[in-house]
């Protein structure tokens, strides 16, 4: 008999013989910290939907049919239908070996004979546990590969010839090859995620996953599950194992966007994981080690937030070994026309339009605009102009903003030629966002919207 060492595996034994169940549980509890038993196979669907079992020991014959194994086939098929990765070991009498072999072909992992030898039973379960762990590892690798493939989608290069952008490029080149934690500061729409992606692409982790998380959109109730993962059955809607964003980013780069919007309670949980470089999925007792490059970003005055105690100072120290300030478009002299032509080329091809050039008057108009929505606003403005124009050269009238009023930088001076609901809503969204210094939560609350609804409007209007 192997040396007694308690394994963290979770075992389920299903048999209508109560004496057998008691004996098996007493024996196996010496080796596994979770052993559950069930006499009624009808309860299997509920059990499997609510719990994640590493190994299921299933009797081939119950009271309805004591010898043919038909019930065993039926319940094996039910189990695998609910959880294709389930590891099922069949319990059978000596005369049912042929039946058991047939069931293995149908998806069972192994079988044990009644009356069993304890040592052989234990060896079978240990072997099945290794298979279960391998299947979970494969499942995790598949999820991770999906994330890698998603992150490998083409990101446009960061364009800019202005002096302030050359300074940004210089910083990127200096720090990209290190594992230093980076904090990117800048207004909405300035391209913070593109900078994070550029840092990843130039790092030694560039063949691993780049995982982006919008911290401001993660609800408090799902924070731990979304970021750290959960085990099946950990809570009501946990129907299957889920690997969290942090673990998916392991060996790669983790980008925590809008970190300034994270409530204090979540900041504490995040800090613990970053300090320990480990996490525990919800409903699990196994600690997972982390090896990630951390990049964070915010459009808020993070130092003022520390002073006002709305952002933890120790968390700030953890995330900002290096700071990169990304300037707003209004400070990037000469870059507006460069970016506008870039987007014009993209959207003319996308919509099969003849537009291929901006008139000098259009360029002048674009350069005078203050671009409160920055590059994102410019991109949307060019896209709309391309869609609305049937000419080869884009003219000022193809754009729909009032350049004189917007150049003052204050929406309160904007004069509307028409009371279009989209125009009014856009101005309102911008004003309440500015009033709350970019804090999405406060702005959404003041205007009477949920965070998700507010985010949709920011995206809609290019803000």
367-417 pLDDT, tens digit per residue, is 888 898 899 999 999 999 999 888 889 988 888 765 444 444 444 444 444
**Is residue 129 helix, strand or coil?**
helix
At residue 152, the pLDDT reads 44
Decide if pLDDT at 461 tops 90.
no
Half-sphere exposure of 319 (CA within 13 A, CB side): 29
pLDDT tens digits, one per residue of 71-86: 778 888 888 888 777 8
**Residue matched to tokens 């959880």:** 83
Q: Which residues touch 9 (CB under 8 Å, ≥6 apart)? A: 32, 34, 54, 55, 125, 129, 132
Domains and CATH numbers, the chain: 7-139 (3.40.50.2300), 154-325 (3.40.50.300), 329-409 (1.10.8.60), 416-463 (1.10.10.60)
pLDDT tens digits, one per residue of 159-215: 888 999 999 999 999 999 999 999 999 998 999 999 999 999 889 998 888 888 888
Question: How would residue 231 be classed by pLDDT, with cut points 50, 70 and 90?
Answer: confident
**Residue matched to tokens 């119950």:** 62
What are the start-end ranges of the H helices in 40-96?
A: 44-50, 70-82
Cα Rg of the chain (Å, integer): 30
Question: How would residue 257 be classed by pLDDT, with cut points 50, 70 and 90?
Answer: very high
Candidates 285, 8, 248; CA nearest to 140 is: 248
Measured distance CA(313)–CA(310) in Å, rounded: 9
Measured distance CA(374)–CA(165) in Å, rounded: 14
Tokens of 324: 């990169």
At residue 425, the pLDDT reads 79
């Amino acid at each position: 008999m192997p040396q007694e060492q308690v394994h963290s595996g979770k075992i389920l034994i299903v048999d209508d013989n109560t004496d057998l169940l008691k004996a098996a549980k007493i024996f196996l509890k010496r080796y596994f910290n979770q052993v559950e038993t069930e006499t009624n196979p009808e309860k299997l669907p509920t059990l499997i939907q609510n719990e994640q079992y590493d190994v299921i020991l299933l009797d081939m014959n119950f009271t309805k049919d004591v010898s043919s194994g038909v019930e065993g086939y039926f319940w094996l098929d039910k189990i695998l239908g609910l959880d294709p990765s389930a590891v099922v070991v069949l319990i059978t009498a000596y005369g049912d070996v042929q039946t058991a072999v047939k069931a293995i072909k149908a998806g069972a992992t192994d079988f044990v004979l009644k009356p069993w030898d304890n040592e052989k039973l234990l060896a079978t379960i240990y072997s099945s546990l290794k298979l279960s762990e391998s299947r979970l590892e494969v499942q995790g690798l598949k999820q991770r590969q999906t994330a890698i493939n998603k992150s490998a989608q083409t990101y446009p290069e960061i364009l800019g010839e202005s002096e302030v952008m050359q300074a940004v490029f210089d910083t990127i080149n200096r720090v990209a090859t290190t594992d230093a934690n980076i904090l990117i500061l800048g207004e909405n729409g300035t391209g913070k995620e593109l900078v994070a992606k550029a840092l990843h692409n130039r790092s030694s982790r560039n063949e691993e996953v780049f995982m982006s998380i919008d911290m401001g959109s993660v609800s408090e109730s799902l924070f731990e599950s979304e970021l750290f993962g959960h085990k099946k059955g950990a809570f009501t809607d946990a129907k299957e194992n889920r690997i969290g964003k942090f673990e998916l980013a392991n060996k790669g780069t983790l980008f925590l966007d809008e970190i300034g919007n994270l409530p204090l309670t979540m900041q504490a949980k995040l800090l613990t994981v970053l300090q320990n470089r480990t996490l525990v999925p919800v409903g699990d007792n196994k600690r997972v080690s982390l090896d990630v490059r951390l990049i964070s970003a915010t459009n808020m005055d993070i130092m003022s937030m520390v002073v006002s105690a709305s952002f933890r100072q120790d968390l700030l120290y953890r995330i900002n070994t290096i700071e990169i300030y990304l300037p707003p478009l209004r400070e990037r002299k000469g870059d507006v026309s460069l970016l506008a032509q870039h987007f014009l080329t993209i959207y003319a091809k996308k919509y099969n339009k003849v537009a291929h050039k901006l008139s000098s008057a259009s360029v002048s108009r674009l350069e005078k605009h203050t671009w409160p929505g920055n590059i994102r606003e410019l991109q949307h403005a060019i896209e709309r102009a391309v869609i609305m124009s049937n000419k080869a050269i884009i003219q000022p009238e193809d754009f729909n903003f009032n350049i004189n009023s917007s150049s003052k930088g204050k929406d309160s001076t904007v004069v509307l030629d028409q009371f279009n609901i989209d125009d009014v809503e856009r101005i309102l969204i911008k004003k309440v966002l500015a009033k709350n210094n970019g804090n999405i939560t406060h702005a959404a609350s003041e205007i009477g919207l949920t965070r998700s609804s507010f985010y949709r409007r920011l995206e809609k209007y290019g803000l």
